[in-house]
Amino acid sequence: MLLKTLINTNELAALLGLSNVVVLDCRFYLTDHAKGKSEYNIGHIPGAIFVDVHHELAAVETEVTGRHPLSDEAIFARQLQTWGINSDTQVIVYDDMGGAIAARAWWMLCQQSINVRVLDGGFPAWVREGKDVSTEPNVGVATQDKIEVSFPWAISEQVVVENFETNQFQLVDARASDRFNGENENIDPIAGHIPGAINRPFLDNLDADGSFKPAEQLHVEWQDWLTEEGDAYVYYCGSGITACHNVLALNYAGIEAKRVYVGSWSQWSKRMMRAMAES
């Protein structure tokens, strides 16, 4: 079954202020973790709640995880309550990177059967179209309703290892081609990609203005890469963030996709470092 994906600025504007609508500002910058909140303070969509991606959409990194491991299920359930999200809530998530960051929130919420969509074009589109911008902070209205959180679409490192023997799925890497090819790596300790993976950079899902390409165009482009659908593919990236953008784009294009290797290259490169140290 295809997932709900995008909402445009006019559709979102019509929803603002409704009691069952929660808007999450997911702006995040890998090299400056404080910048997202600073940008939110400068201006955001009215009523939006700032989301600290590094802490509220991820657990603490360890020696054996990727850079953004999934949140503990009980902790994330409490986070949803804090944001005021229950099973009847409409959630809209946005960023300023074409959905690259917001897609992680979308993917995590979709698994809880929450009605969630990503703002196409994000905050830049909102501003470009002259929509209202607020500087008033919002922390949301907490709810007593609790969602039982689980992450059935998350693929573990061990399952990826086992796949070398079972060949149950094809890995698809969402990073830029230079990182995939090992030509440029300034984040993780080793350059390259997981053996056997193919590369579809998430930026290829977007037009020049940061909006998604038309669904029909994306369908054609992705069909050039994929020979099957659904669970035949697992998506990854550097730390389990932008891989979700490919999952989002596929569902928007009418192609089923759900599964993400959350540890991604940042976890796999640690595995390689351990193997090198033991050899």
User: Which residues are annotated as catalytic?
Assistant: 237
Query: DSSP assignment, residue 98?
Result: T
What is the total residue count of the chain? 279
**d(Cα 246, Cα 96) in Å, to the nearest integer?**
17
| 3-state secondary structure (DSSP) of residue 158 | helix
Question: Phi, psi (5° rounding) for residue 10?
Answer: -65, -40
**d(Cα 109, Cα 117) in Å, to the nearest integer?**
10
Taking a C-beta distance cutoff of 8 angstroms, is the pair 48, 126 a contact?
no
**d(Cα 130, Cα 126) in Å, to the nearest integer?**
7
Q: What is the CA radius of gyration of the chain?
A: 18
Q: How far is CA 255 from its chain centroid?
A: 17
| 3-state secondary structure (DSSP) of residue 222 | helix
Strand order in the sheet with 198-199: 154-155, 260-261, 233-236, 170-173, 198-199
